[in-house]
Amino acid sequence: MSGLWWLIIGLLAGWLIELAIDYRYWRRQAQVEAQRLAEQEAALDARAQLLGEKQAAQHQRDEELTALQTALAAKDAELLAQAQRTDERAEEVSHLEQAMDKRRADLDRMGLTLNEREKDIAARNHALKAGEADYATRLETLQASEADVTRRVAVVSNRESAMQNWEARILAREHEVGDKETELVRQAATAADLRATVGAMKELVARQYRTAEGADDLRAIEGIDDQIADLLRKAGIETFERLSETSLGELTRTLEGGGSRFGLADPLSWAEQAEHLVSGDFVGLERMKEELRGGRPRDAESLEPPVAQSAADASQLLIAGSTGESTGQGAGQGAAEGGAEGAGSGQDIGAGAEAAAAIGSGASGDGATDRSPEGMEQAEREAEEAASASHGPLFQAAAGRAGDRGRRKHRR
């Protein structure tokens, strides 16, 4: 019951840790998005400020235009006044001419000469022509000013149209930013849902690779059975992470230290399989396991016979019986157990065990064994001959290698 509580507490702790990681991640994403939006708002503020400056400049130009219009109106009034004065002067000239006529009559009467009167009239006509020329010059200046004002009004209209276009573009950009914000919020919600679903699925799949106590089940690795898993745990390799960090040499030394029955276990792919489990790549693990059998590639099965382990075990049991480690019927039973342990490998393994049991029984039938080197070598040769007769040259080679290892141990 306490194990179940510890499992529930571990699951809750894992869920809280994942929730904290997700919170920090999305918080960081929100900060990045807020920073990007702040930059866009700053750009919009800068554009609005530029637009305000343009509006201020436009307002200033409007004021200048108003001032120019006021000045033109003043000039128009001045020209009208001058025209009135010219008319008045013309009237005055007319009056003066009348007066001159009167005076001319008077002069005639007074005895003035006609030449002096004509000179006076010519001088006055010259002055009148000069005034008319000055009026024509001012009229041309006024017309040029009106044309310049018309051109400036057209420029102002064009700028107002451009400002309206800019305002429309800014408004469209604001709508686009709003749409993007809405889309980002929707995508964030979808990503959160997908992350929760994937996390739940990964947790369900990960439970299949754990024991009932919640520990890593090393038997999930292709090539590791119950005995190898117990051996690895005794060596301190209890988790997938620890197994993924263990070198091939350390695994080989661990298997060699467990005895000859682990001699044919192939740990070449164990670390890679454990890495798949540590990283949560369960699909990659299953694909890799489909390409393996007993921890080694399926293509390599034809390179080494599957009965070699049983041959080695049978030979080792025979050597143990011949050196006095087991006597009488016990030696025969040990050989039979060795053959039975390898029975799962096929019919050849069972036959090898039977041959080994028979030789063991014969070697210890009288309750005593020949411990001399010649007797042991004779027993080993008989075991190899029996294996060769039952299974051919491949079984003989495996049994021969096991016998060589036994002879070296005995000599030491």
Closest of 238, 243, 231, 245 to residue 211, by C-alpha: 238
Residue 154 has pLDDT above 80, yes or no: yes
Q: What is the pLDDT of residue 175?
A: 87
pTM over 0.75: no
Closest of 403, 222, 211, 268 to residue 323, by C-alpha: 403
Region 257-265: mean pLDDT is 88
Give the Cα separation of 229 and 240 in Å (integer): 11
The model's confidence at residue 247, banded by pLDDT at 50, 70 and 90, is very high
Q: What is the pLDDT of residue 136?
A: 87
Q: What is the pLDDT of residue 211?
A: 87
Q: What is the pLDDT of residue 325?
A: 37
**Is the model more confident about 205 or about 167?**
167
Domain spans in the chain, listed from the N-terminal domain onward: 2-205, 218-302, 308-411
Give the Cα separation of 294 and 206 in Å (integer): 22
Question: What string of DSSP letters covers 243-272?
Answer: HHTS-HHHHHHHHHHT-GGGTT---TTHHH
Closest of 298, 320, 324, 333 to residue 402, by C-alpha: 320
Residue 410 has pLDDT above 50, yes or no: no
Q: How many residues does the chain have?
A: 412
With a pLDDT cut of 70, the percent of the chain lying above it is 71
Residues 268 and 295 sit within 8 Å (Cβ to Cβ): yes
Q: What is the pLDDT of residues 72-104, one digit of tens each?
A: 889 888 888 888 888 888 888 888 888 888 887
Residue 117 has pLDDT above 70, yes or no: yes
Q: Which amino acid is located at 41 in the chain?
A: E
**Is the model more confident about 331 or about 304?**
304
Residues 399 and 307 sit within 8 Å (Cβ to Cβ): no
